[in-house]
Chains A and B, each alone.
Chain A
Amino acid sequence: MFHQSTYFVGCVGLMIVGLYTMLTKKNLIKVIIGLSLFETGIYLLLVVVGYIQGATAPIFSRTTGSPAEMVDPTPQALVLTAIVIGVAVLALALSLTIRLHEHYGTLNLRKIRGLKW
């Protein structure tokens, strides 16, 4: 098995890669991809923090189901909410991108006025 901190390193690494993409890329689509990666890192991090060694999914069934052997359901419910909102944000961002491309004819953030840093 992996070393324990590998899971954290993966989640934080995904977040960092996403943020780096958002900060440095000039193409708007790539910025949105970075946003999506960053979100994914946060979801993974939340789920990993809720994990308990040796525990199962928080679903009861006829044969198994001891509450002591289940992982924390709260972060999973929160991540479920966050994923849906992430999809909504992604759809809205992509639609605005389409409109920007229709208006300016480019997706380069340096060429779109008012969006350079």
Chain B
Amino acid sequence: MRILISCVLLVILSLGLVFALEQAPFGSNQIDNADKPGRFYLNQGMEKTGAANVVTSVVVTYRGFDTLGEVTILFIAAIGLGAVFHSRKKVKRYEKEKQSASLILQTGCRFLFPLIVLFGTYVFIHGHLSPGGGFQGGVIIASAFLLLFLGCEEKKIPMKSMNTVESLAGIIFVGIGLAGLYWGESFLENFLPRGMDYMLLSGGVIPIIYIAIGFKVGAELAGIVAGLIERNP
């Protein structure tokens, strides 16, 4: 019965989607008009913000406030996860027989951890020039910590300093926004000089904000991973 009702609902939904998508054929130019925001970002984004990656200039500059909210959502999710796991000490833990990681994993994680962190750092520092950015680089760094949790059990991750890094990065993000309000005209305004196009130091505040986001997302997701892994809450 459930399956029947679900199938009827899904058929209705897919028919609706099919008729909606008929209005926008695949590959058609939906931003042919200069009034469309996408066309505006493409035409003006590089000149106004100095970031070669238009997606980055949209995420950090034009929709910067939205990105601040997004980072806040991630932060709240991390807090919620901590709150869910906080009271579990009373619950009887499962006694699992500990099985150490294999030799390949133990050796590989020692070798790969710095490389993955380096790659993540590269991705978020170059977020305004190449594909990537703070979120992607942060997730790569968090995956390095996941590898550490899986492979090197004897290595302790200092969660206190991770939390400090996360808070500092958040403060830097909001502080740059307030500085834009002070030296510029609006919150999160690009008040620094544009710099040379296609160079690392270009785009004004965009690289700084993305570096802050990279640290914040990396620390936050590593904290989430640590919370989900039972032995290191």
- Residues of A participating in the B interface, judged by any CB pair closer than 8 Å: 4-5, 7-8, 12, 15-16, 19-20, 23-24, 48-54, 57-62, 65, 67, 70, 72-77, 80-81, 83-85, 87-89, 91-92, 94-96, 98-99, 102-103, 117
Contacts and interface: CB of A to CB of B under 8 A. Distances in A.
A15 B18 CA distance: 13
Residue of A58, A73, A76 with most chain B CB atoms under a 10 A cut-off: A73
B6 A24 contact: yes
Interface stretch (B48-56, B101-109, B114-122, B172-180): B48-56
| Overall SS of chain A's interface | helix
B5 to A, nearest CB: 8
A23 B2 contact: yes
Contact of B3 (A8, A24, A53): A24
* Chain A to chain B: the 3 pairs with minimum beta-carbon distance, closest first: A53-B27, A88-B77, A72-B38
A20 B3 CA distance: 8
Given A61-B198, A73-B54, A20 B10 contact: yes
A18 B198 CA distance: 41
A61 B166 CA distance: 32
B153 interface: no
B137 to A, nearest CB: 12
| Overall SS of chain B's interface | helix
Contact of A81 (B54, B67, B131): B67
Contact of A59 (B30, B37, B52): B52
Contacts of B80: 92, 95
A8 B24 CA distance: 10
A12 B26 contact: no
Given A92-B81, A92-B84, 9 more contacts: A16-B13, A24-B3, A53-B28, A58-B54, A59-B130, A59-B131, A74-B38, A84-B70, A92-B77
B217 to A, nearest CB: 8
Contacts of B77: 88-89, 91-92
B53 A8 contact: no
A87 B85 contact: no
A95 B26 contact: no
B41 A73 contact: yes
Contacts of B27: 4, 51-54
Given A16-B13, A98-B228, A102-B88, A48 B6 contact: no
Interface in B37-51: 37-39, 41-43, 45-46
A8 B20 CA distance: 11
Interface stretch (B58-66, B144-152, B156-164, B187-195): B58-66
Contact of A52 (B28, B54, B74): B28
Interface in B6-43: 6-7, 9-10, 13-14, 17-18, 21, 24-31, 37-39, 41-43
A72 B46 CA distance: 14
B18 A81 contact: no
Interface in B74-118: 74, 76-78, 80-81, 84-85, 88, 91
Nearest to B63: A77
A80 B13 CA distance: 25
Given A53-B28, A85-B70, A91-B81, A58 B228 contact: no
Given A53-B27, A84-B74, A58 B227 contact: no
